[in-house]
Amino acid sequence: MWMDNELLQHEMKQIESQLKKSLKTRNKTVQGALEKLQQSGGKRLRPALTVLGATFGEYDSNTIVPLAASLEIIHMATLIHDDIIDDTKLRRGSETLHSMLGKDVAVYTGDFLFTRAFMLIADIAEVKLMKDISKAMAYICDGEIDQNEQRYSKNTTVKQYLKRISGKTAALFAMSLAAGSYKAGCSKKVVNNLGIIGRDIGMAFQIIDDILDFTSVESKIGKPAFNDVIQGVYTLPLIFALNSKHKAETEAALDRMEEDHGESLRKVLEKAEVIEKARKVAIKYIEKARSKTMILPDALGKEAILEIIDQQISRKF
């Protein structure tokens, strides 16, 4: 498995240590919540990709570890704000920060994390990298705004959905691989290619995540099933169904969500065969990422990136 990579194992421990230092605050209540947030872990894919991207150049732990940690902190901050907007009660099986402390404190905590991330970046990054990370954050915000504007819209198109996730999810995946390789002094071509690979991994990751919202159970994904639909976030399988001959049945099933807890919707999505259709879109992004990775120069992290790519299709949470 990709996590067996010795360099990655060592560096991920250093990143966890850096996160612990950076998430300290004088407010004991917020401190406790941030410790729980860190301990809940998550996949840590973004910092892992930063480390792996840097192996294509001159690897320097002194700059890569804080860079990787800063990108993970940005991710944490976006999750806090995302949970507030969606009024999500659970994240990774644990109570969300705003559920514990209230929305006001949660907003300030998310803002606090952004400042911590940029303090780390400022110590090791030149102006260009700062600009690139700021640009990625702008894409993330654009994606979140698009998602909010499209809530409960039964006319959302596949194109709008792909644009949305390209910002809210794929932008940070792209930045993680690109920033690591840039900081390690890789050529512009390698940095650009790794950024594209990261974007394609992020697109597949989000599509699979959205499929799991329909097909998995709460104990597996750490949040209620059909959570996105309940919040009015219509993702690829549902968009496919709403743009098919099963449109009327799908709309009727949406109207019965509270009544039957999504059972009607589950049946109509199965009937319309849209889960598999959405999975095929994810596979296309996986194939693109894999083919582009194969032509990269040899590096310590290349095999691990290929394993991460292939893992997306089979993951259950």
**Residues 121-154: tens digit of each pLDDT:** 999 999 999 999 999 999 999 999 999 999 999 9
Pairing of strands 90-91, 94-95: antiparallel
Q: Which residues pair with 95 in a beta bridge?
A: 90
pLDDT at 174: 98
What amino acid is encoded at 144 in this protein? E
Residue entry with tokens 């992290």: 301
Q: Which residue in 302, 275, 278, 277 sits closest to 290, CA to CA?
A: 302
- In the chain, the amino acid numbered 114 is F
List beta partners, residue 91: 94
Q: What percent of the chain has pLDDT over 90?
A: 73
Average pLDDT over residues 4-15: 92
Q: What is the pLDDT of residue 220?
A: 60
Residue 2: the pLDDT is 76
Q: What's the pLDDT at 223?
A: 66
Rounded Cα distance between 28 and 249, Å, is 51
- Reported confidence tier of residue 4, pLDDT bands at 50, 70, 90: confident
Mean of the per-residue pLDDT values for the chain? 92
Please give the full DSSP string across 30-74, using - where no structure is assigned: HHHHHHHHHHT----HHHHHHHHHHTTS---HHHHHHHHHHHHHH
Q: Which residues make beta-bridge pairs with 94? A: 91
Q: How many structural domains comprise the chain?
A: 1
What single DSSP character describes residue 168?
A: I
pLDDT in tens, 220-272: 665 677 889 999 999 999 999 999 999 999 999 999 998 998 999 999 999 99
CB atoms within 10 A of CB 160: 16
- Of the pLDDT bands very low, low, confident and very high (cuts 50, 70, 90), residue 89 is confident
Q: State residue 182's pLDDT score.
A: 98
| Residue-level pLDDT at 97 | 78
Assign residue 208 the CATH number of its domain.
1.10.600.10
What pLDDT does residue 58 have?
98
Segment (H or E) for 90: strand 90-91
Using an 8 Å Cβ cutoff, are 236 and 276 in contact?
A: no
Helix (H) or strand (E) holding 185: none
Which residues have CB under 8 Å from 237's CB, separation 6+?
210, 211, 214, 269, 274, 275, 277, 278
* pLDDT value, residue 292: 98
For the segment 179-184, the average pLDDT, to the nearest whole number, is: 98
- For residue 93, name the pLDDT band (cuts at 50, 70, 90): low
Cα–Cα dist 120/140, whole Å = 20
Distances (CA, A) of 178 to 41, 196, 294: 23, 8, 16
pLDDT score of 92: 65
pTM for the whole structure: 0.94
The range of the structural domain enclosing residue 222 comes to 2-314
**38/97 Cα distance (integer angstroms):** 12
